[in-house]
Amino acid sequence: MLVTRRKRKERKEIEIYLNNKPLIQVHSMKYLGMIFDSKLTFREHINYVVEKCTKLIFALSKSAKLNWGLKHAPLKTIYTGGILALLLYCAPVWRKAIDKASYKSKLVRVQRLINIKIAKAYRTVSNDALCILTGLTPIAIKIQETSKFYQLTKGNRREEVLVDRDMGVKYWHHPADTITFFFLTHGSVHHDSMLIKGPDQATVEGSSGTSTMTYTRGSKYSF
């Protein structure tokens, strides 16, 4: 296989002999589970992964009907441990291939199929809504995250870098945790008053935004 990205027309057939026998030239080859093509577009690798995952999802669909069969928890485990592992295999190598919309749409279509099974939803539901219902990260973001994490951990970087990782919904911070509480005191005497600063949905002086509220013995004063 002759690897080149030149767009001009040139003679791409080469003659190589081994033991006086010509070797057959191919346009793609599989190495360590990755399919490389002569242009390094990774189109055949993405098509191979998409076809393999689609067959697996259709096989699972026989046991994951709307009212019976596998529930969302087992299906989510199968996706995380099996299908997602196939989709992310060697993602740092072919990450730039998803910049092309046609390749990206094929991977999104695979995730959409399993999302419909997990959420027990209709086929008309958008993929973004399905990702929210199932709590799964969109596949394009997951590929970028995996590639970036690999570069930071396996690369030659020596400085400390903070990386955002996928986190379950139960670990998300509640909006109420961002509110700051101040207890008003006068000298050494603690009064029954509390000052709260944080986001308020009420309108303050004709505009919505951050406001300050004071609670004193059950009464609320906003200013």
Burial class (CB in 10 A: 0-12, 13-18, 19+), 152: middle
- DSSP state letters, 182-201: EEEEETTEEEEEEEEEEEEE
pLDDT, tens only, 126-169 = 888 999 889 888 999 999 888 888 888 776 655 666 666 666 66
pLDDT, tens only, 73-126 = 888 888 988 899 999 999 999 999 999 999 999 999 999 999 998 888 888 898
Beta bridge partners of 2: none
Residues 75, 118 contacting (CB under 8 angstroms): yes
- Residue listed under structure tokens 């399905």: 130
Closest to 140 in 3D by CA, of 172, 111, 169: 111
Q: With left for phi above 0 and alpha for psi between -120 and 50, is residue 165 left, alpha or beta?
A: beta
Task: Taking the CA atoms of 170, 172, 173 and 174 in sequence, report the sign of the dihedral they define.
Answer: negative
Phi, psi angles (nearest 5°) of residue 31? -140, 120
Residues 213, 196 contacting (CB under 8 angstroms): yes
Listed by start position, the domains of the chain span: 1-40, 41-169, 175-222
- Global pTM value: 0.66
